[in-house]
Amino acid sequence: MSYVLDASVALLWLAPGTNPAGVEYANKALEALKTSQASTPSLWSLEIANVVAKLEAKGVVTEADSQRFIALLSRLDIVTDTATATHALGDTLNLARRYKLSAYDASYLELSLRTSLPLATLDANLAKAAALAGVTVLN
């Protein structure tokens, strides 16, 4: 089953110790990518890069760990949405306002709504907003 992949899930493939309670969920999302595709808003790569750099700076992961993680991401069927920016000042902003989300988190919700795909997230506020908006959150 295809789904929208939030960075909160993918980053546990790199640093599971940052959220031990979410590891099983993240591993199931990774397993699903063996037979399906994930979609991400165009800011996803920047969000991933930002957290990777912070984790390295804090000594949570090494650059070698990060390189293995980036290689893993490149092997997976993860598609970047090219229309994220087009919706940023309209639908995404409205979702951020309505559900009190950051615009970044609202971009995942907007993509799920626009594509009718379920959302894989470990962000409690985003999951709550998705449920209120009628988006299926992967269990």
Chosen CATH of 3-133 out of 3.40.50.1010, 1.20.120.50, 3.40.50.1820, 1.10.3470.10:
3.40.50.1010
pLDDT band at residue 96 using 50, 70 and 90 as cut-offs: very high
Higher pLDDT, 108 or 34: 108
**Residue count of the chain:** 139
Would the pLDDT of 86 be above 90? Answer: yes
Would the pLDDT of 26 be above 90? Answer: yes
Residues 119, 138 contacting (CB under 8 angstroms): yes
The beta strand positions in 15-137, using DSSP E, are 38-40, 78-80, 119-120
Q: What is the pLDDT of residues 121-131, one digit of tens each?
A: 999 999 999 99
In the prediction, which pLDDT does 1 show? 80
In the prediction, which pLDDT does 75 show? 96
The predicted model gives 52-81 an average pLDDT of 98
Looking at the chain, the whole-number percentage of residues with pLDDT higher than 90 is 98
The predicted model gives 38-58 an average pLDDT of 98
Residues 51, 73 contacting (CB under 8 angstroms): no
SS3 45: helix
Would the pLDDT of 139 be above 90? Answer: no
Would the pLDDT of 36 be above 90? Answer: yes
Would the pLDDT of 87 be above 90? Answer: yes
Q: What is the mean pLDDT of the chain?
A: 97
State the DSSP H helix or E strand holding residue 7, giving kind and residue range, or none if neither. helix 7-10
